[in-house]
Amino acid sequence: MHDREELYIGGSWVKPNGNGSIGVINPATEESIGSVPVGDASDVDAAVAAAREAFPDWSQSAVGERVDLLNQLSAVIKERGEEISQLITAEVGTPIGYSRMVMVGMPRVVSRSYAKILDGFTWEEEVRNSLIVKEAIGVVAMITPWNFPLHQIVGKVAPALAAGCTMVLKPSTEAPLNAFVLTDMIHEIGLPDGVFNLVSGRGREIGEAMSSHPGVDMVSFTGSTGAGVRVAELAAPSVKRVTLELGGKSANILLDDADIQRAAGSAIHACFSNSGQECSALSRLLVPESKRGEVIEVITSKIGQYSVGDPLDETNRCGPLVSKRQQESVTAYISKGIDEGATLVAGGEGMPDGLEQGFYVKPTVFADVTPGMTVFREEIFGPVLSITTYSTEEEAIQLANDSEYGLSGGVWSGDEKRAMRVARQMRTGQVSINGGSFNVTAPFGGYKRSGLGRELGAHGLEEYLETKSIQR
């Protein structure tokens, strides 16, 4: 059991003022694996005060010191990689191989990437008679989700450290244990007291107290669009900076000259990775009418390889969903797709064959999905792929953009110039061409209701900086 009873404030583990604990359930076994304490608004006050006290010295720290600490953080994540991978698999249900490669591998690389970015970052420039200076924004409140728990934390902590900010973190209630291990590591590498603080608890209390706190200069939130809107509302009266990484319903366009075998096979992983619990999942597959049968044939032949079951079994590609509530939500969407007349190609309602416990759903594919259907419009956050046909390239682009979201996207074509032309017309924060791989140094974020601001790379660092002009 991983029971934690203290919060991390001002460089020390301290007893919370809040009462009770939050239990953490393994979604594969439905058994308790640990708990974390419930903080309250007074704990937030103490953490913000510690961060404000630490800010003047940390914001003026030598860049070389920050580089060294970021490299140390990357090294200790690597050193404890297997332990953290096993823990995240137990918290989230992510297949263990994916946990090792992505859940732990990405945070390690992101930490190191900010050390490299700092080496060549331009903090000052002259514009006529002005000196333009970049400075740390101040105290940052960080509210993170459960689906990529450590990566989403490090994706905020690393650029904040690089910028010279101090911070208060509230991890998710579903997968908070890895945040406590990260805090142990941060303490171990000797980050100055008060630079990083951890307060666990319920979003309605801790998240809202952080978002509205007058001592917080910036809120960085990742989660649902509805919760992001609430964060922005609470932050507005104090006019603090807000960055939001929210939902998605991203389109994957297969053009008529694409390699259908490769593109359709890749489309399964692009939607079902991490059991579909990705805001950037390519959950809407747009295919030419003339290629509908071929695409469905490829997907039908390959989806059987997407095995579902125990996430510690390295042969399984899909684990459980994170919680009973998430399982019920995704199952309801599958039922809705059937009721609204979409053609069920694979999967469907009920537990996968051979599984009697755990929060599993069947990886599901619908064809003949029209823009008016719920499975076309709403973010499902599970392994459900919708296939929609189009007749012209212009219609494909229109369908791709027919969404309140704009986080990710994909284009497949035998002509890269054509694919680039289509990608440029997609109203979304990132697009992969022919399966182009994710780049942790490129900016990540969305258009429309998918959010505000960017994470990762130099663009992510800029979010944590203020700009000052000094005239002379």
54, 229, 212: which is closest to 139 by C-alpha?
Answer: 54
Are 177 and 99 in the same domain? yes
> Does residue 165 carry a catalytic annotation?
no
- pLDDT beyond 90 at 306: no
Q: Which residues, 6 or more positions from 413, have their beta carbon under 8 angstroms from its beta carbon?
A: 255, 257, 258, 419, 422, 433, 434
Q: What residues make up the domain containing 259?
A: 251-439
Are 291 and 207 in the same domain? no
The overall average pLDDT reported for the chain is 97
Give 388-396's long-range contacts (Cβ < 8 A, gap of 24+). Answer: 388/284, 388/285, 388/286, 388/287, 389/286, 389/287, 389/288, 389/289, 389/292, 390/286, 390/287, 390/288, 390/289, 391/288, 391/289, 393/255, 393/422, 396/253, 396/255, 396/286, 396/288, 396/422
pLDDT tier at 304 (50, 70, 90 boundaries)?
confident
Amino acid, res. 472: R
Residue 445 lies in a domain: no
Are 230 and 267 in the same domain? no
Q: How far is 446 from 460, CA to CA, in rounded Å? A: 13
Q: How far is 409 from 305, CA to CA, in rounded Å? A: 24
Catalytic residue among 91, 208, 245, 463: 245
The DSSP-derived string for 51-62 is HHHHHHHHHTS-
Residue 186 lies in a domain: yes
Residue 312 lies in a domain: yes
Are 156 and 84 in the same domain? yes
How much is the average pLDDT of 184-213? Answer: 97
How much is the average pLDDT of 285-292? Answer: 98
Q: Are strands 451-452 and 241-245 parallel, antiparallel or unpaired?
A: antiparallel
pLDDT, tens only, 130-160: 999 999 999 999 999 999 999 999 999 999 9
Are 367 and 300 in the same domain? yes
Residue 273 lies in a domain: yes
Are 317 and 456 in the same domain? no
Strands (E), 290-404: 343-346, 364-367, 384-390
CATH number at residue 278: 3.40.309.10
CATH number at residue 122: 3.40.605.10
Q: Residue 98 corresponds to which tokens in the numbers above?
A: 């994916």
Residue with tokens 């104090």: 238
Strands (E), 62-129: 124-127
* Contact yes or no for 284/294 (Cβ under 8 A): no
Strand order across the 130-136 sheet:
124-127, 130-136, 465-471
Residue 118 lies in a domain: yes
Are 387 and 370 in the same domain? yes
Are 268 and 132 in the same domain? no
Residue 46 lies in a domain: yes
How much is the average pLDDT of 223-244? Answer: 97
Q: How far is 320 from 299, CA to CA, in rounded Å? A: 21
* Contact yes or no for 171/34 (Cβ under 8 A): no
> Does residue 279 carry a catalytic annotation?
yes
pLDDT tier at 305 (50, 70, 90 boundaries)?
confident
pLDDT tier at 192 (50, 70, 90 boundaries)?
very high
Are 396 and 332 in the same domain? yes
Q: Specify the number of domains making up the chain.
A: 2
- Confidence at residue 262, expressed as pLDDT on a 0 to 100 scale: 97
- pLDDT beyond 90 at 228: yes
Angle between helices 393-401 and 416-425 (to 10 degrees): 40
Are 191 and 260 in the same domain? no
- Confidence at residue 272, expressed as pLDDT on a 0 to 100 scale: 96
Catalytic residue among 165, 271, 279, 318: 279
Q: How far is 468 from 472, CA to CA, in rounded Å? A: 13
Are 149 and 256 in the same domain? no
pLDDT, tens only, 239-257: 999 999 999 999 999 999 9
- Confidence at residue 1, expressed as pLDDT on a 0 to 100 scale: 79
Q: In Å, how far from its chain's centre is CA 92? A: 13
Are 181 and 266 in the same domain? no
Residue 444 lies in a domain: no
